[in-house]
Chain A
Amino acid sequence: MMSRSKKVFIERISSEYHRPSGPLWQPAVDIYRCPDGWKIKFDLAGVKPDDIHVLISDDKLIVRGVRRDTVITEGWSYHQLEITYSRFERILKIPGDLSNTEIQSESRDGWFILHLKCA
């Protein structure tokens, strides 16, 4: 059971989790309860949907990806850097069984939003 929207790669995995090598940065998250399920909002400004990877198991939701600096241009140099780039990963535990949920993704104003519809 797979759904795709806006090129976001979503994969169902077994509950066994593969740890990434090395710690990664974690985007901030808001989680809403809505009548038909869950809405999960990630603070992932500047991340292309192509670079986001969603994994789902029975009880876990994993969002990982890479933030790339697409602004910097040849001949520029940094004066100050506070935004974290490179790979990120966020593992969330959502109450309830996720095995039969339908997942939709959406990118809006720098947010990356996942909609989990429970059957």
Chain B
Amino acid sequence: MTETENKILELPILPLRNTVIFPSGITPLTVGRPLSLAAAEAALATEEKLLGVVAQREDNEAEPTPDNLYKTGTVVVINRMMRSPGAEEVLHLIVQGQERFRIVGFTEQTPYLKARVEILPEPTREKTPEVEALQRNIQVLVQKALSLLPNVPPEIRNIIVQADDAVRLAYFLGSVLDLTTPQEQALLEADTESELLHLMHTYLTREVEVLEIRSKIANQAQEELGKAQRDYILREQMKQIQKELGEGESDQAEAQLLRERIEKAELPDEVRAEAERELKRLERLPAAAPDYHVIRTYLDWILDLPWRKSTEEALDLNNAQGVLDEDHYDLEEIKQRILEHLAVIKLNPKTKAPILCFVGPPGVGKTSLGQSIARAMDRKFERMSLGGMRDEAELRGHRRTYIGAMPGRIIQALRRASVNNPVMMLDEVDKLGMDFRGDPASALLEVLDPAQNFSFRDHYLDLPFDLSKVFFIATANTLSPIPAALRDRMEIIRLSGYTEEEKLHIAKRYLIPRQIKESGLTEEQVHFTDEAVQGIISRYTREAGVRQLERSLGSVARKIALKVAKSEGDVFTVTDAELEDYLGHEMFFHEMARQQLPAGVATGLAVTDMGGEVLFVEATLLPGSKGLTLTGQLGDVMQESAKAALSYLWSHTHELGFDCAEKFENSAVHIHVPAGATPKDGPSAGVAIVSALASLCSGRPVRSDTAMTGEITLSGLVLPVGGIKGKVLAARRSGMKRVVLPKKNEPDLKDIPEEALRDLEVRLVERIDELLPQTLTPGGDGQEEMPIPERDGVTAGNEVRVESGQASH
């Protein structure tokens, strides 16, 4: 009787929010809305406790009207009912779905909805292959879903696995799955098994997809979390390890600090890029790595170098002149050169700095001149001594691959100067060594070439540094050891020795005040007479410069300081006579003009590192023997020069007026040049040798007041030689009255201070036959001097008598 198809019933209708009840399973319901309460009460009052439940279309409708309800619902039987302990007006029901129905029409709407419903049959079972396939697929999908859901109770698992009826399983899944109300309603409204299973299949597929994605996301999240956690733990461990090793946590801070410094530093683009690249490497390294400190030091070097920092040029020419004059006496040519350069810089700031090379004997003020140039230009002064440097790497640095590599001296000096335009003095370039480690002179070529040095590459830095603003000054004592290529790059400025007058000035202006001060005395307490200073210069020193002079002055000053300290007096005047008390016996005595020269002795002039010097050439005949003996440590050139002299005289014996040939035929000749222990070389003694030999042959002594220098040739020419200034000064110092020089050396006389020439008679000769009358004393025939042929309108004897002003003739 209950099992009638399309049976019509009249049932109280309970609107459901958010859910659909399927004709299977047991569902708990809580009823609180008045409409629903009334419907539930009405159902309970019937014999069979049947209730129709229909889903609401709008969940938030509190008082749903028939229009708001789906038309298809489920007949449920109320299995259990109880009232809430606190609130009587809330019912808790447990209902079991029985059959589907379709609402035919509502019969009542108050106090509850009541409708006539037509009971719908169960979806018709079909045994088609399609249904079969859908069933199996659903089973597979369900298994998949179960494997993806972590916490499915085993009861549900069993129900699903053991379900033998596809429709029941679909209804069950519909209530279990997280479906929307319209989806659930569609399941409920399905009239055939295939329709129902199709819907279920769609829902399940989607559900499984969602589950899969969810599980993937969850896995990923877990994976990411796992990795982050792992990194964190490892980092923490590393920190602990570093702490244990006492390395602290400063690396990151250090890298950060370096980064800030790089940002602030004024670096050229290329340098900045390199610095940043190195910094990145540094950040990746632990502080304990050996490379860490290499990179760290390298970055420090980059940051410390004055890539763009310059000192402002002081372009006040008058001030510069003042500074130069204040520091150095005379040296007009050099001062002029500096001032010219300053003037050029003033007009064209982009001009390249000159590269000067001061050549001169020690103590003439080459180094201090560099300092005053820096002072005059208001630039920093950096000095490096190249003496004895043998390794190219010392100049240009070692590559960073070597342990303990450092930049070269040039870059180091620039860091010290901390500006890129210092005056840089390369001292003693003539004393550069050279061996298998390389040739530092060649490395200097790049440094000193204005065409290349704007991008000087130090091996260590391996970045181009602009050296073109650096004012390079090289110094050397002699030019000859300097390789030609290097010499060619520099502007050579010669500083020859000072004259005694100059020394006197220097002593009075600089040395004496300085030494008095250093001895703790005042200028009022000590006074040097000019004669005393000259005495020191001539008898206690022998030098082109003034170092020995300064030491001697210092020594005198100290002895006076001792007396002052012992209260033996207050004011002291040092006179020439007292010098022996202060300085002991005279240290040197120059080869002074000999009062009377025997035949065969001539006074020559030589130049040494210490300045000019007088030397004597002695010749003697050894009758009964043959040949030429040369003694006195003569070099090859000088020996050849002696041979040339002998040959000239021998071959020209008829023109000379005395017979050389006969003497040379019958006797050997011995030439000796004292001081025998000092090696001597060079061609400039030629005229002295020829004079000595001529004197020997003629028996006429060489004039004792005449000194001479010059190279000779076999054809009788007198060729020019170097060091004229030093030689002339030496001649004067030795008390000579006359000097015979090659005619071609005439321009050199301009270099000689006028006071040095004052009491000196200078004779210029072009040929040996002009020379001999000037050097030999008149013969016994009473002839004053040998006749000299007139030539080129030059007065006989080519005498140059300097009265005042420029040398003239």
Contacts and interface: CB of A to CB of B under 8 A. Distances in A.
Interface of A: 18-25, 66, 68-70, 72, 76-82, 84-87
A25 B99 CA distance: 13
A85 B47 contact: yes
Contacts, number: 77
Looking at chain A's contact residues, the main secondary structure is loop
B77 A86 contact: yes
Interface of B: 1-3, 23-25, 41, 44-50, 75, 77-83, 96-100, 119, 121-122
A76 B99 CA distance: 28
Contacts of A24: 98
B121 A72 contact: no
B44 A86 contact: no
B24 A85 contact: no
Contacts of B75: 22
B308 to A, nearest CB: 93
B2 A66 contact: yes
Q: Give 10 closest A-B pairs by Cβ, nearest first.
A: A22-B98, A68-B47, A81-B81, A86-B77, A22-B23, A86-B48, A21-B122, A22-B99, A78-B44, A21-B99
B48 A66 contact: yes
Contacts of A87: 2, 48, 77, 98
A84 B47 contact: no
B48 A85 contact: yes
A81 B83 CA distance: 10
Given A23-B25, A72-B44, A86-B49, 20 more contacts: A19-B122, A21-B3, A21-B23, A21-B99, A21-B122, A22-B98, A22-B122, A23-B23, A23-B97, A25-B79, A69-B47, A69-B48, A69-B49, A77-B44, A78-B44, A78-B45, A78-B81, A80-B81, A81-B78, A81-B82
A35 B322 CA distance: 151
Nearest to B40: A78
Nearest to B168: A23
B48 A79 contact: no
A22 B98 CA distance: 4
B83 A79 contact: yes
Contacts of A19: 122
Nearest to A84: B79
Contacts of B46: 69
Given A21-B23, A69-B49, A84 B83 contact: no
A86 to B, nearest CB: 4
A77 B45 contact: yes
Nearest to A9: B1
Given A19-B122, A22-B24, A72-B45, A86 B98 contact: yes
Contact of B96 (A23, A69, A72): A23
A66 B98 CA distance: 13
Contacts of A25: 77, 79, 96
23 contacts: A21-B3, A21-B121, A22-B24, A22-B122, A23-B23, A23-B24, A23-B96, A24-B98, A69-B46, A69-B47, A69-B48, A72-B45, A76-B45, A78-B44, A78-B81, A80-B83, A81-B44, A81-B80, A81-B81, A85-B47, A86-B48, A86-B49, A86-B50
A71 B23 CA distance: 28
| Highest count of chain A CB atoms <10 Å: which of B2, B77, B97, B122 | B2
Nearest to A71: B47
B82 A85 contact: no
A23 to B, nearest CB: 6
A25 B49 CA distance: 13
B122 A82 contact: no
A8 to B, nearest CB: 14
Contacts of A76: 45
| Highest count of chain B CB atoms <10 Å: which of A19, A20, A82, A86 | A86
A80 B98 contact: no
A68 B98 contact: no
A82 B23 CA distance: 21
Contacts of A22: 23-24, 75, 97-99, 122
Given A20-B3, A21-B23, A77-B41, A85 B83 contact: no
B51 to A, nearest CB: 10
A87 B82 CA distance: 21
A3 B532 CA distance: 171
B112 to A, nearest CB: 14
Nearest to B74: A22
A77 B37 CA distance: 12
Nearest to A19: B122
B24 A68 contact: no
Contacts of A18: 3
B49 A81 contact: yes
Contacts of B99: 21-22
Nearest to A78: B44
Contact of A85 (B2, B3, B23, B49): B49
A91 to B, nearest CB: 14
B147 to A, nearest CB: 28
A21 B79 CA distance: 18
A77 B83 CA distance: 11
Contacts of B47: 68-70, 72, 85
Contact of A68 (B23, B44, B48, B80): B48
Contacts of B49: 69, 81, 85-86
